[in-house]
Structure 1
Amino acid sequence: MTDLNTAQRLTPQPVQGWASGAGPTGSTVVVDPTRRYQTMTGFGASMTDTSAWVLTNKLSDAARRQTMTELFSADHGIGLSMLRQPMGASDFAVNGSYSYDDMPAGQTDPNLAAFSIDHDKAYIIPRLRQALAINPKLTMMANPWSAPGWMKTSDSMITGSLKPEFYDAYARYFVKFLKGYRAAGLPTDFISVQNEPLYEPGDYPGMSVPASASAAFIGSNLGPAVAKSGMNTQILAYDHNWDVPAYPEEIYHDAAAARYVPGTAWHCYGGDVTAQTVSHNDYPHAQAFLTECSGGTWQGGTAAAFEQSMALAIGVPRNWGQSVVLWNLALDQRNGPTNGGCQTCRGVVTVNDDGTVTKEVEYYALGHASKFLRPGAVRIASSVPADAPVSNVAYQNRDGSQVLVAYNGTGTEQHFSVQVGTRHVSETLAAGAAATYRWTDPGRTAATGAGLGWIDLDLGRGPAGTPGGRLVQSVSAGLIGSLNSVRLGDRWLTYSKPFGAELRSAAVAQDLSRAGWTVAASSSDPASPVANMTDGDLSTRWSSGTGQGPGSWVGIDLGAAQEFNQVVMNSGTSPGDYVRTYQVETSPDGVTWTPIARGQGSTDEMVIPLPPTTTRHLRIASEASSGSWWSIHELNLRTSTAGPVPATPPGQKLVRASGTLSDGTQVTAVYNAGRNDAQVDLPLSGFGYAYWLPSTAAVTFAVQPVN
Structure 2
Amino acid sequence: MIRRLAGVLLAGALASTAFGATSTAGGHDISVWLTDVPNQLYLSKQAGLDWRNGKAPAAQTIHIDERRTYQSMIGFGASFTDSSAWLVGTRLDKAQRDKVMRELFSPRDGIGLSFVRQPMGASDFAVNGNYSYDDMPAGQTDPTLAHFSIDYDKPYIIPLLKQAERLNPKLTLMASPWSPPGWMKTTDSMIGGNLKPEAQQPLADYFSKFLKAYKREGVPVDFISVNNEPLYQPPGYPGLGMSAEQANVFIRDYLGPTLKKRGQLSSTKLLGYDHNWDVVTYPETLYADPQTSPYVYGTAWHCYGGDVRAQSMSHNSYPNKPAYHTECSGGEWEGDAAAGFRGGIGLVVNSTRDWAKGVVRWNMALDQNNGPTNGGCPTCRGIVTVAPDASGKWGYTKTVDYYALGHASKFVRVGAKRIASNTLGAENVQDVAFVNPDGSKVLIAYNAGTTARSFNVQFGSRWFTASLPAGGAATYTWSGSQRGAADASAIGSVDLFFRNADGSRPVVSYDTGLLAFNDEIRVGSSWVGSTLPGGASFGPSVPAVPLSRDGWTVSASASAADEPAARVLDGDQATRWSTGRGMEPGDWFQVDLGATKTVSEFTIDATGSGGDFPRGYELFASDDGVTWGQPIARGGGRTKLSVQFPAVSARYLRIVNQGSAGSWWSIHELSASAPGTGTAVASGSSRGLQERSATLSDGTKLLAIYNAGKKPATFDRQLGTSTWTYRLPASAVAIFTERATS
For the criterion TM > 0.5, the same-fold answer is yes
Instruction: Provide the residue aligned with 1:76 in structure 2.
Output: 109
Q: 1:67 pairs with 75, 86, 100, which one? A: 100
Mapped contact 1:645–1:689 kept (Cα < 8 A): no
Higher mean displacement: 246-255 or 229-238: 229-238
Instruction: Provide the residue aligned with 2:398 in structure 1.
Output: 359
Mapped contact 2:584–2:659 kept (Cα < 8 A): yes
Higher mean displacement: 189-198 or 454-463: 454-463
Measure the CA separation in 1 of the matches of 2:83 and 2:501.
41
Relative to structure 1, the CA distance from residue 530 to residue 648 in structure 2 (aligned partners, 3 Å threshold; closer, same or farther) is closer
Deviation of 1:687 (Å): 4.2
Instruction: Provide the residue aligned with 1:435 in structure 2.
Output: 474
1:381-392 paired onto structure 2 within 5 Å: 381-386=420-425, 389-392=428-431
Instruction: Provide the residue aligned with 1:584 in structure 2.
Output: 619
| 1:197 is aligned to 2:230 | yes
| 1:4 is aligned to 2:37 | yes
Instruction: Provide the residue aligned with 1:127 in structure 2.
Output: 160
Deviation of 1:600 (Å): 2.7
TM-align CA RMSD:
1.9
Deviation of 1:515 (Å): 3.0
Instruction: Provide the residue aligned with 2:352 in structure 1.
Output: 317
List per-residue Cα deviations over 1:8-30 (Å, max 9, x = no partner).
Answer: 21011222222222235642111
Measure the CA separation in 2 of the matches of 1:572 and 1:245.
14
| 1:479 is aligned to 2:502 | no
Instruction: Provide the residue aligned with 1:170 in structure 2.
Output: 203
1:35-74 paired onto structure 2 within 5 Å: 35-74=68-107
Mapped contact 2:516–2:636 kept (Cα < 8 A): no
1:260-659 paired onto structure 2 within 5 Å: 260-354=295-389, 355-386=394-425, 389-442=428-481, 446-461=485-500, 469-593=504-628, 594-603=630-639, 605-642=640-677, 652-659=687-694
List per-residue Cα deviations over 1:182-208 (Å, max 9, x = no partner).
Answer: 111111000000100000011100001
Measure the CA separation in 2 of the matches of 1:364 and 1:463.
41
Measure the CA separation in 2 of the matches of 1:531 and 1:519.
6
Instruction: Provide the residue aligned with 1:86 in structure 2.
Output: 119
Relative to structure 1, the CA distance from residue 533 to residue 100 in structure 2 (aligned partners, 3 Å threshold; closer, same or farther) is same
Higher mean displacement: 145-154 or 620-629: 620-629
Mapped contact 1:406–1:434 kept (Cα < 8 A): yes
Measure the CA separation in 2 of the matches of 1:442 and 1:508.
56
List per-residue Cα deviations over 1:607-639 (Å, max 9, x = no partner).
Answer: 211211111221111222333322222111111
Mapped contact 2:559–2:565 kept (Cα < 8 A): yes
> Which residue identity does 2:512 align to in structure 1?
A
Mapped contact 2:116–2:173 kept (Cα < 8 A): yes
Deviation of 1:304 (Å): 1.6
Mapped contact 1:571–1:577 kept (Cα < 8 A): yes
Measure the CA separation in 1 of the matches of 2:426 and 2:580.
40
List per-residue Cα deviations over 1:478-501 (Å, max 9, x = no partner).
Answer: 101211011112211100000111
Secondary structure at 1:133 match in 2: helix
List per-residue Cα deviations over 1:63-95 (Å, max 9, x = no partner).
Answer: 111111111112111111100000000000011
Mapped contact 2:559–2:577 kept (Cα < 8 A): yes
Measure the CA separation in 1 of the matches of 2:310 and 2:624.
36
Higher mean displacement: 158-167 or 646-655: 646-655
Instruction: Provide the residue aligned with 2:272 in structure 1.
Output: 237
Deviation of 1:661 (Å): 0.7
Mapped contact 1:643–1:688 kept (Cα < 8 A): no
Mapped contact 2:685–2:715 kept (Cα < 8 A): no
Secondary structure at 2:491 match in 1: coil
Deviation of 1:671 (Å): 0.3
> Which residue identity does 2:92 align to in structure 1?
L
Higher mean displacement: 381-390 or 203-212: 381-390
| 1:101 is aligned to 2:137 | no
In structure 2, stretches of 5+ residues that fail to align are 1-33
Relative to structure 1, the CA distance from residue 21 to residue 451 in structure 2 (aligned partners, 3 Å threshold; closer, same or farther) is closer
Deviation of 1:265 (Å): 0.1
Relative to structure 1, the CA distance from residue 495 to residue 645 in structure 2 (aligned partners, 3 Å threshold; closer, same or farther) is farther
Relative to structure 1, the CA distance from residue 389 to residue 267 in structure 2 (aligned partners, 3 Å threshold; closer, same or farther) is same
> Which residue identity does 2:237 align to in structure 1?
Y
Mapped contact 1:271–1:625 kept (Cα < 8 A): no
Q: May I ask how many residue pairs the two structures share in their alignment?
A: 702
| 1:678 is aligned to 2:717 | no
> Which residue identity does 1:377 align to in structure 2?
A
Measure the CA separation in 1 of the matches of 2:128 and 2:494.
52
Deviation of 1:325 (Å): 0.3
Deviation of 1:572 (Å): 4.4
Measure the CA separation in 1 of the matches of 2:609 and 2:470.
44
Secondary structure at 2:568 match in 1: helix
Q: 2:244 pairs with 202, 206, 211, which one? A: 211
Mapped contact 1:462–1:470 kept (Cα < 8 A): no
Secondary structure at 2:37 match in 1: coil
Secondary structure at 1:224 match in 2: helix
List per-residue Cα deviations over 1:631-681 (Å, max 9, x = no partner).
Answer: 222111111335575686565211011101111111000001122222233
Measure the CA separation in 2 of the matches of 1:508 and 1:618.
20
Measure the CA separation in 2 of the matches of 1:2 and 1:213.
45
List per-residue Cα deviations over 1:289-334 (Å, max 9, x = no partner).
Answer: 0000000001111222111111111000110111110100100010
Secondary structure at 1:13 match in 2: strand
Deviation of 1:61 (Å): 1.6
Mapped contact 1:644–1:688 kept (Cα < 8 A): no
Secondary structure at 1:314 match in 2: helix
Relative to structure 1, the CA distance from residue 207 to residue 118 in structure 2 (aligned partners, 3 Å threshold; closer, same or farther) is same
Mapped contact 2:588–2:655 kept (Cα < 8 A): yes
> Which residue identity does 1:600 align to in structure 2?
G
> Which residue identity does 2:397 align to in structure 1?
T
> Which residue identity does 1:281 align to in structure 2?
N
Deviation of 1:387 (Å): 10
> Which residue identity does 1:636 align to in structure 2?
S
Q: 1:154 pairs with 187, 190, 193, which one? A: 187
Mapped contact 2:460–2:483 kept (Cα < 8 A): no
Q: 1:692 pairs with 727, 735, 738, which one? A: 727
Secondary structure at 2:38 match in 1: coil
Measure the CA separation in 1 of the matches of 2:523 and 2:59.
40
> Which residue identity does 1:167 align to in structure 2?
Q
Relative to structure 1, the CA distance from residue 388 to residue 51 in structure 2 (aligned partners, 3 Å threshold; closer, same or farther) is closer
Measure the CA separation in 2 of the matches of 1:650 and 1:111.
46
Deviation of 1:216 (Å): 1.2
